[in-house]
Amino acid sequence: MSFVFADLFAGIGGFRIALESIGGECAFSSEWDKYAQMTYKANFGDVPLGDITQIEPSSIPDIDILTAGFPCQPFSSIGKREGFEHPTQGTLFYDVVKILKEKKPKAFILENVEGLVTHDSGKTLKIILDTLSVSINGQYLFLSQPDVRYHVFWSILDAKDYGVPQVRKRIFIVGISEDVSRDVPSFTFPSPNKNKEYIGSYVEENIMGYSISKHLQDSYLFKLD
């Protein structure tokens, strides 16, 4: 299977690693953090373009899939939870929508913090879903007039259930274009993997210049595992 995708808010390239492993080709990437850009280049050999708000959607190559881990700070329980009111990051979701309108990919995958579900008593997630959806989790929205027309499925997934040694709950929003399937397509999120990974398996045995004692290291690893 071959397909072309765009990697928005790319970070260090997690989505890209996954999609390239199943035959995808990255035609475009964007990430504004300079340290993430450096790591991305080390991983893939190319540097993502910067601020997505300064990029014309028409300049992006044609794509089959769009991925976007749009900034989570406005919705995170750790931050101020300013949501769409965040002065620099709150409305970046709408830049994703502009690109979806222009490029009309067959599918998209969005990712954000679990707190997006409860932000503003669920109103923020509703706005996002209403902007994208002709159906949500298999149910048609007969009165909806979305900006783009996708069958949308969403769920909370925890990285620890999928081979990652980290408890990291995130909302994943998957959209399949109405042009691909007029009827609601069959889609299910992957089931949790019973084989767990633990951080202790990845810690180097011979480390120069560690900054905490061996006793504390062992204590932290015991708690994490």
Secondary structure (H, E, C), the chain: CCEEEEEECCCCCHHHHHHHCCCEEEEEEECCCHHHHHHHHHHHCCCCECCHHHCCHHHCCCCCEEEECCCCHHHCCCCCCCHHHCCCCCCHHHHHHHHHHHHCCCEEEEEEEHHHCCHHHHHHHHHHHHHHEEEECCEECCCCCCCCCEEEEEEEEEHHHHCCCCCCEEEEEEEEECCCCCCCCCCCCCCCCCCCCCHHHHCCCCCCCCCCCHHHHHHHHHHHC
* Catalytic residue IDs: 72
Specify if 80 maps to a domain: yes
CATH number for the domain spanning 119: value is: 3.40.50.150
Specify if 187 maps to a domain: yes
Specify if 172 maps to a domain: yes
- Alpha-carbon distance values, 157 to 37, 76, 185, 193 (Å): 26, 16, 21, 11
Specify if 206 maps to a domain: no
* Predicted local distance difference test score (pLDDT) of residue 143: 61
Specify if 99 maps to a domain: yes
Distance CA 28, CA 30 (A): 7
- Alpha-carbon distance values, 138 to 128, 141, 147, 174, 186 (Å): 17, 10, 19, 12, 8
- Give the count of alpha carbons within 13 A of 29, CB side only: 22
Q: The domain containing residue 172 runs over which residues?
A: 3-192
**Whole-prediction pTM:** 0.81
Count of domains for the chain = 1
Specify if 204 maps to a domain: no
Specify if 201 maps to a domain: no
Specify if 224 maps to a domain: no
* Predicted local distance difference test score (pLDDT) of residue 73: 53
- Give the count of alpha carbons within 13 A of 90, CB side only: 13
* Predicted local distance difference test score (pLDDT) of residue 37: 96
The ranges of the chain with pLDDT < 50 are 74-79, 81-89
